[in-house]
Structure 1
Amino acid sequence: MSYKEKKINRPPIITVAGHIDHGKTTFLNYIRKIKNPLKEDGGITQHLNAYNVETKYGNMTFIDTPGHSAFNVIRIKSIQNSDIMLLIISIDDGIKQQTIESINIAKEYNIPIIVCINKIDKAELENKKEKIINELSKIGLLQELWGGDTFFTYISAKTGEGIENLIDTINTQAELLDLKSNFDGLANGIILDNKMDNKQGLITSIIIKNGKLKKGDLIKTQTDYGKIKLILNEEKLINEAIPSMYVNIIGLKKNQEIGCTFECFKKEKNTKKQIQPTKIDLTEKKNKYSIEDLIKQMTSNKVKNLNIIIKADVQGSINVLKDTINNIITEKIKINIIKIDIGNPIKSDIDLAITTKSVILCFKTKNSQQINKLIQNNGIILKTFALIHELIFYITERIKDESIEEKKEILIGTAEIKKIFTQDKNVIAGCSIIQGKIKQNSIIKIFRKNTMIHKGSISSIKIFKNQVNEVTQGNECGISIKDYNLIQIHDKIKSYIQE
């Protein structure tokens, strides 16, 4: 790749980091002049976002990182690929775990830090400012007024106080760094994220480091190549982008890892030979199973398995979930990630879940009517979550349930659902007892096409209007199942007792 020798100043790329709920996103909304921002679920940032912000010094690119501990990998990639780290610290909360983690990451990659103490509009907390400054000095961040090399600023992201001075400080730090890039020639840069759009396909988020990115350029990574069809600056279509700009592009076909590089090239001839093959991590390869291996393992009875299929909205979410789940340590249960991918659930996910007896866990995705019908017809467990920590909590609770030493369950009877009706908003299964007996206080399992879809208990058994404790073979009754209504005609209800 060739560039003109002359390099010129480029805008700074700033990662905004800090502990959860310290005001990172509020600050960015203020400088972006967003008066009615859309709030993320739970009121916390769960995605890596980036913005091209126009200031009196020209454009500055800001990367907003999640503050939750689960997103450490994303913070590392963001800070590593930025010029400056802006460390937001809430004056009322002080230095926290993610504050220190962010400092350590910046130091490791030699990224200069600007400390920004936020929420100074809370005048009653003024005395805490000195405490924060002193604590930071003990871990190597000494403000320039004390002879150090770290800029300290003080703002209220809520009122805007001090933000103009902060922008001045960022510009000063950028001038000291003397940031330069080639603005001509073919572009290169880094991948920040991917997401799947139902209409436009794969959207790849990038930051340009050198050159000029143009619509129609050929682009390649280690694992993919394509032609840039669209360039988006937030929601606005543009024809080209220059160094330090954050844009979304459409043109690549495969998900890319956060932090990997891309470059544009001239000729399409022998393109496949130009792409370097992805290096395979052998430690990860050992954890991959064929479907046949999984089924053999599941039927061996030597170990309990929790098979999961994960679907998420963006690649950043995938990285966080994969990293967090792989770090869950359990002796009695083996967690197998059968598939992990971005995008809404599709039919092949349901088919795979049936074959591998997997639970499908979704983060910020949507189900089509077809998928909802397939889930119901096949008795698949599919859970959708708006908060990552709730998804992780669900997995840990499933592990606890599976780890409990089960008492021996003895089948005492089977009923088939012949009719479904409602009474006082309760769903009643009109059943025929085809074997043994169904007892009120027994454990029940509901099967659909030989697949168990629910395990629970009975709320009531009635023959006509009379409440009964059990019904024997050859008789009919109405069964109300506790906290479960997703029954269908021909489902089988099996009754068990423990010993």
Structure 2
Amino acid sequence: MNDSNNSGDKTLTVPPSKTLSLKRPVEQGVVRQSFSHGRSKAVVVEKVKRRAHETSKAPAPAAPASGAPRPASPPPAAPSQSAPPPRPPAKPTAPRPQTGVVLRTLTEDERDARARALNEARLREEEDRRRQEADARARAEREARERAEREAADSRKKEEETRLAREAEAKRKAEDEARRRLSPTSAPASEPEPEHGLSLAPAAGSRGKPQQIIFNAPRPAAPPPAASSASAPAPASSEARPAPAAASPGGLAPRRPILAPKLAVPAVKPTRTGEMKQRGRLTVTNALQSEGDERTRSVAAFRRRTQRMKGVVEQKERLSREVVLPETITIQELANRMSERGVDVIKLLMRQGQMHKITDVIDADTAELIAVELGHSVKRVAESDVEEGLFDTADADEQLVSRPPVVTIMGHVDHGKTSLLDAIRQANVVSGEAGGITQHIGAYQVQSPLGGKITFIDTPGHAAFTAMRARGAKVTDIVVLVVAADDGVMPQTIEAISHAKAAGVPLIVAINKIDKPDAKPERVRTELLQYEVQVESLGGETLEVEVSAKQRLNLDKLLEAITLQAEVLDLRANPDRSAEGTVIEARLDRGRGPVATVLVQRGSLAVGNIVVAGAQWGRVRALIDDKGHNCVHAGPSFPAEVLGFNGAPEAGDRVAVVESEARAREITEYRERQKREQAAVRGGSARSSLADMMSQLKTAGRKEFPLVVKGDVQGSVEAIIAALEKLGNDEVAARVIHAGVGGITESDISLAEASKAAVIGFNVRAHKEAREAAEKLGIEIRYYNIIYNLVDDVKSAMSGLLPPTLRETMLGNAEIREVFAISKIGKVAGCLVTDGMVERGQHVRLIRDNVVVHEGKLSTLKRFKDEVKEVVAGMECGMAFENYQDMRQGDVIECYRVEEIKRSL
């Protein structure tokens, strides 16, 4: 089969004798189509040329004859804003060569899609053109309206200026005419009085009353005002129309009427209460002023009114501000800092799903989101920023001068630290210490034999005062370690070495008590090697001096070693700046109030300065040196007692001078708030970890020994609390309800009565009111002046709260041979004592098949018919238990004694 046998083939041809017509020119071409099995077929394709006005439309291919496949048409061009120029008609071309390529025919859906795309593009173009035209018209209308408004405003301004100038001229002329007519020379007495006119006569009364205006006759009517100033009142001039004349009594004019132009009396507007309020004294100037001299509407007000009437809201240009945000802030304060309305901030929060009032407090993150949303920049600050610049400001090298060294004397208890310092100072501090031991930290300043001064800090050596020793090591430049030659290195000596190493300060070893017969300085040097302290005599770098505080031996050598070490350190400070320092000790003096021993480290502290120490602040009322003398100022490395704090600061608090009381209050309030929050966290019931929960369960049944502790100084109270906390165990512990400095007050007794606590006073006494309240409530107050005795008594009292230890002592065993039932008594076991002895009233265990089935007491023990106290091994007896009857033959009875042993901490 081939294509020549296809009877249904209808080929499109053009007759050769085609007449001219107005039909579209047609291009012809031949396309070879290929089929399966090697068949092919030539198809003539006609293409209608495009017309110029149809260039934007896609060409529609001529439909082929039936039976022939549709020829492939080229894809339509992409729509564009402007149609391409028409192409010239193409010349008829020769038939295309038969290449064997078949073009795909567009389906109906594809043609519809292309047509829809063209229509949508055309509609979009039309819509854009209409929108642009509407925008252009609106813009032209707005410009014309604004131009008309400007022209109207200019015309109103010109009219206003013209009116003001005319009124000013009329006013000037009227004043001149009135001045001329009212002058004595202008109206002589012989001249006849005019028949008509206006006369001004002063009213009877005091000065400042309005004048009487009398009209004798009406004047001719004035011409109507101009149209341009119809709304404005008529000017008060000589040509203006006067008001109707007011007839005088009897129709007679005043005795000497004076002709004058009409004077417009300023209208007095009624107030809200209907009363006529006089604006002031009536003068010629006020009388000549027009009633229309009122403030007119400005151009800006007129424009705003027009915009409101048309519904056009002018958008104000937003100003970007830098908003300072603390950790928390109210919505009202945030709106004020941004210069925004509070309702706008609340609306923004409502869009975020948060309902707030204007007085609510929001956090800094939420406030930052709001400020950024409204176009402002944010600067975050924290509450701790109030302390910025308070401490550790750098000083220039040229401002630094040499300062005395601060030396801390440390060592074990009873090694002669205070005695050594007394020998250097030529004082007797030891005699004032209770029990012969130092329980306070002291600060002194002495003169070195080589020139200059040295500041000494004396620390206690008792184990309870470890916090004092640590505090002394922090503020010092050099540590002098005092070791007794007859005692050697002790626990507190090792602790002092650790404190010195932690503070990073040099160490000087003073071997004391070399005058004793059993002194062994070499033993001290050897023992120090175990703690990495190598003295110079053994090839190390640590200075050592053998001294005797009792015989005052080698004290000058010790001071020389301290001066030499200070020169090596090159200690300098700036004395001309605000003071900074540390509270060495603090106490509450009943006569002088809170007293704090402060070591000035930088700058100079003077009387009248405002200082801040921890959560306390005050103005320095007095400065007292170590000898009890008043001083005006305290320089670097100078210890002084400061009076003027509003409360006793805590030992170890840093002291700084601030510029104002407001800054001091701000800092102390922040620190007080921090202390309350930390106390609430410590005392809260919420636990943060599994270990804390286990610890809580472990100490749930622990007994507490409540105490109220009052001491003489802050350091002693701190040491007592630390010592009492170490006394407890898992079963009992001391709980300090309140600790403070000063005497025992009535409020302390009330607190102790409410919490069932004991009251302890260390080197203080109770006030008279407190003693009476304690006697009335039956509360015992215990006084102590040595920390040993205080700790021992509290330890003994806490030991009484411990449950006693139960100890079992084995007595013997018995075997049940027979069980007898006796009326009115119950079951009785006939037993044979196999081991030891059995006592009546002791504890017994009933063992059956090696299992304890009962524990109780032996109520009855009989030997035959007699009640006996005990039965020894190898003898038979009868036994009965308390509240137990289930005894069987073959059971074993174990008898034992329970002893209670008192426990102690």
Question: For residues 454-493 of structure 1, what are the alpha-carbon distances to aligned partners after superposition, in whole Å with 9 as ceiling and x for unaligned?
Answer: xxxxxxxxxxxxxxxxxxxxxxxxxxxxxxxxxxxxxxxx
> Secondary structure of 1:94's partner?
coil
Residue 609 of structure 2: aligned partner: 217
Aligned mate of 2:794, from 374, 395, 420? 395
- Structure 1: gaps of 5 or more residues: 291-300, 407-499
SS in 2 for 1:21: coil
Task: Give the drift of 1:349.
Answer: 0.7
Structure 1 counterpart of 2:553, one-letter code:
E
Which of the pair is proportionally richer in helix?
2
Alignment-mate amino acid for residue 236 of structure 1: H
Match of 1:175 in 2: 567
User: Do 2:418 and 2:430's aligned partners in 1 also have CA atoms closer than 8 Å?
Assistant: no
**How far did residue 35 of structure 1 move?**
5.3
Q: Give distance in 2, aligned partners of 1:289 and 1:13.
A: 42
1:150–1:176: structure 2 CA closer, same or farther, 3 Å change rule? Answer: same
* Equivalent residue, structure 2, for 1:20: 413
Q: Distance in 2 between matches of 1:271 and 1:23?
A: 42
Partner residue, 2:558: 166
1:147 aligned onto 2:546: no
Q: Distance in 1 between matches of 2:677 and 2:663?
A: 29
Distance 1:162 1:335, change over 3 A: same
The structural deviation recorded for 1:15 is 0.5
User: What is the alpha-carbon distance in structure 1 between the residues aligned to residue 452 and residue 551 of structure 2?
Assistant: 23
Q: Secondary structure at the match of 1:318?
A: helix
2:472 to 78, 88, 91: 78
CA distance in 2, matches of 1:221, 1:369: 32
Q: Distance in 2 between matches of 1:386 and 1:227?
A: 32
8 Å CA contact 1:9–1:179 kept in 2: the answer is yes
Which of 486, 501, 507 matches 1:107?
Answer: 501
What is the CA distance between 1:281 and its match in structure 2? 9.2
Tell me: CA distance 1:270–1:48, structure 2 relative to 1, closer, same or farther (3 Å).
Answer: closer
Distance 2:492 2:428 in 1: 28
Of the three residues 386, 399, 404, the one matched with 2:785 is: 386
Partner of 1:418: none
- Conserved? CA contact 2:610–2:664, under 8 Å: no
Deviation for aligned residue 1:221: 2.5
1:96 and 2:490 correspond: yes
**Matching residue of 2:872:** none
CA contact (8 A) 1:305 1:335 kept: yes
CA distance in 2, matches of 1:302, 1:137: 47
Give 1:374's aligned residue.
773
- 2:440 maps to 47
Q: Which amino acid aligns with 1:43?
A: G
Greater CA drift, 230-239 or 367-376: 367-376
Find the aligned partners of 1:162 and 1:303 in 2 and give their Cα distance: 55
Q: How many pairs does the alignment contain?
A: 395
CA distance in 2, matches of 1:240, 1:196: 22
Change (3 A) 1:375 1:266: same
Query: Match of 1:178, as an amino acid?
Result: D
Match of 2:512 in 1: 118
Q: Give SS of 1:98's match.
A: helix
Shift of 1:284: 5.8
CA separation of 1:331 and 1:399: change in aligned 2, threshold 3 A:
same
Give CA-to-partner distance per residue, 1:206-255, whole Å, 9 cap, x none. 10001111000110133122100111103111111111011100121233
Give distance in 2, aligned partners of 1:345 and 1:274: 30
**Residues 111 and 200 from structure 1, CA distance in 2 versus in 1: closer, same or farther, beyond 3 angstroms?**
same
TM-score where L is the length of structure 2? 0.42
Cα gap change, 1:53 to 1:346, in 2 (>3 Å): same
Q: Which residue does 1:343 correspond to in 2?
A: 742
- 2:526 is the alignment partner of 1:134: yes
Give the Cα–Cα distance (whole angstroms) in 2 for the partners of residues 27 and 193 of structure 1: 21
Q: Which region of structure 1 is more displaced relative to structure 2, 179-188 or 217-226? A: 217-226
CA distance in 1, matches of 2:613, 2:775: 40
- Partner of 2:584 in structure 1? 192
SS at match of 2:661: coil
Quote how far apart the aligned CAs of 1:194 are.
Answer: 0.7
Q: Contact 2:430–2:438 (CA<8 Å) still a contact in 1?
A: no
Q: Aligned-pair distance for 1:306?
A: 1.7
Shift of 1:266: 2.1
Q: How does 1:349-364 map to 2 (within 5 A)?
A: 349-364=748-763
**Aligned counterparts of 1:273 and 1:284: Cα–Cα separation in 2:** 20
Residue identity in the other structure for 1:171: T
Q: What secondary structure sits across from 2:550 in the alignment? A: coil
Match of 2:22 in 1: none
> What RMSD over aligned residues (CA atoms) do the two structures have, in Å?
2.4
2:701, 2:731 within 8 Å by CA — same for their partners in 1? Answer: no
Matches within 5 A, 1:94-493: 94-122=488-516, 124-125=517-518, 128-234=520-626, 235-275=628-668, 276-277=670-671, 279-280=674-675, 285=680, 288=683, 304-404=703-803
Give the C-alpha shift of residue 139 in structure 1: 2.0
Judged with a 3 Å threshold, the aligned counterparts in structure 2 of structure 1 residues 37 and 307 are, in CA distance, closer, same or farther, namely: closer
Contact 1:81–1:259 (CA under 8 A) maintained in structure 2: no
Range 302-311 or range 372-381, more displaced:
302-311
> Higher relative CO (CA 8 A, sep ≥ 6), structure 1 or 2?
1
SS for the counterpart of 1:31 is helix
CA contact (8 A) 2:614 2:650 kept: no
Distance 1:120 1:16, change over 3 A: same
Cα shift at 1:317: 0.8
Q: In 2, Cα distance between the equivalents of 1:284 and 1:269? A: 26
| 2:549 alignment partner, SS class | coil
Q: What is the CA–CA distance in structure 2 between the aligned matches of 1:277 and 1:367, rounded to whole Å? A: 31
Match for 2:745: what amino acid? I
Q: Is the 8 A contact 1:344 1:365 kept in 2?
A: yes
Q: Deviations over 1:138-188 (max 9, x none)?
A: 321112344321001010101111101110000000001110111112110
Residue 118 of structure 1, CA deviation: 0.6
Relative distance call for 1:103 and 1:284 in structure 2 (3 A) is: farther
1:404-449 CA-to-partner distances (Å, cap 9, x unmatched) read: 459xxxxxxxxxxxxxxxxxxxxxxxxxxxxxxxxxxxxxxxxxxx
Q: Secondary structure at the match of 2:799?
A: helix
| 1:120 counterpart letter in structure 2 | I
Greater shift, 214-223 or 79-88, is seen at 214-223
Q: CA deviation at 1:283?
A: 7.7
In structure 2, the CA distance between the partners of 1:156 and 1:270, relative to structure 1 (3 Å rule), is: closer
What letter corresponds to residue 776 of structure 2 in structure 1?
N
Q: Which residue of 2 aligns with 1:61?
A: 455
How much has 1:374 moved relative to structure 2? 1.8
* Cα distance per residue 1:261-286 (max 9 Å; x no partner): 11112233443234452544988645
Partner AA of 1:148 in structure 2:
G
Q: 1 CA distance for matches of 2:568 and 2:796? A: 51
Note closer, same or farther for the CA distance 1:101–1:287 as it changes in structure 2 (3 Å cut). same
- The range that moved more, 232-241 or 250-259, is 250-259
Change (3 A) 1:129 1:248: same
SS in 2 for 1:389: helix
- CA deviation string 1:64-121 (max 9, x = no partner): 1111111111101101210000000111111111111101110112111000001111
Aligned CA distance change for structure 1 residues 327 and 219 (closer, same or farther; 3 Å): same
Aligned to 1:486: none
Length-normalised TM-score, structure 1: 0.75
Q: Is the 8 A contact 2:418 2:429 kept in 1?
A: no
